[in-house]
Amino acid sequence: MPKVYDLEGKEVEEVKLPKVFSYAYRPDIIKKAVLASQANRRQPYGLDPLAGKRTSAHYHGKRKYRWTMMNKEMARISRIHGKVGYLNFVARFVPQATKGRRAHGPKAEKIWSQKINDKERKTAIKSALAATANMELVKNRGHKIQNQMLPIIIVDSAEDIKKTKDVRNFLEKIGLKSELERCAIKKVRAGKGKMRGRKYTKKKGPLIVTSKNCSLLKAARNIAGVDAVAVNNVNSELLAPGTHAGRLLIITKSALNKLE
């Protein structure tokens, strides 16, 4: 049975886990729920419908016609004509021409959001919660833990912590010093993502779950890799970042009772 830790990192009692922690592990449904959550946050983007089309360039190929554009020994594409100077018979509009339209540009009207059944969404949360109690899955995610029973349960008085340094000291007292050091490492991403606003990669650390909105949520959010959320706002993406279940969970005793 998991132990409950006080603010000094000492074991004070044992508790029984709710039934949700014995739920079946369903990585397929977890992945579907996380991808739907990410897709619903995505902002649509696209081209101006008239981009590259604001030109008088056109083509007319009628034969035996005074102003025909055929038999000129040049490609039969839309061109600017009727002008004197460098723009006369210059190609425009078509994708392969200078200042032409894009062949298959992104459409602003494309729908990026994904739908998911309510039962599937709830199943994903239950399955991801159960995965937090699986030692093998948690270690496969890369979390560095000692011999703690999972999930890590803490006393309700921890919700009153107001300073980030106090949260960090508390996490070190319950044996997560190496985990915090792992999350503090920031590496430069390999590939072109460096040029696209995501130069660095960071690790995901423990998830702190409280029974209500409290000062601990605000105090913990500035620690690298640590996320903090009230139990009513827990979702599959927080429990399984990147669709990979088995996140290290730190939960208060009253929040654990609410999971019943």
The three-state secondary structure class of 180 is helix
> Rounded to whole angstroms, how far apart are CA atoms 250 and 220?
12
Amino acid 94: pLDDT: 96
pTM: 0.85
Kindly state the average pLDDT of the residues 6-23: 93
- In degrees and rounded to multiples of 5, residue 185 shows phi and psi of -75, 130
Amino acid 213: pLDDT: 95
What residues does each domain of the chain span? 3-42+116-258, 45-111
Task: Tell me which fold the domain 3-42+116-258 belongs to.
Answer: Ribosomal Protein L4; Chain: A; (3.40.1370)
Amino acid 52: pLDDT: 96
Half-sphere exposure of residue 64: CA atoms within 13 angstroms, side-chain side: 0
> Which two three-digit tokens encode residue 252?
């208060």
Give the number of other CB atoms < 10 A from CB of residue 37: 17
Give the number of other CB atoms < 10 A from CB of residue 85: 6
At 134-181, the pLDDT tens digits run 999 999 999 999 877 899 999 999 999 999 999 999 999 999 999 999
Q: Provide the mean pLDDT of the chain.
A: 94
> Rounded to whole angstroms, how far apart are CA atoms 30 and 240?
8
Nearest to 43 by CA among 106, 117, 105: 106
At 123-136, the pLDDT tens digits run 999 999 999 999 99
Helices of type H across 2-65: 27-39
Q: E strand or H helix at 154, and its extent?
A: strand 152-154
Q: E strand or H helix at 217, and its extent?
A: helix 215-220
Higher-confidence residue: 64 or 226? 226
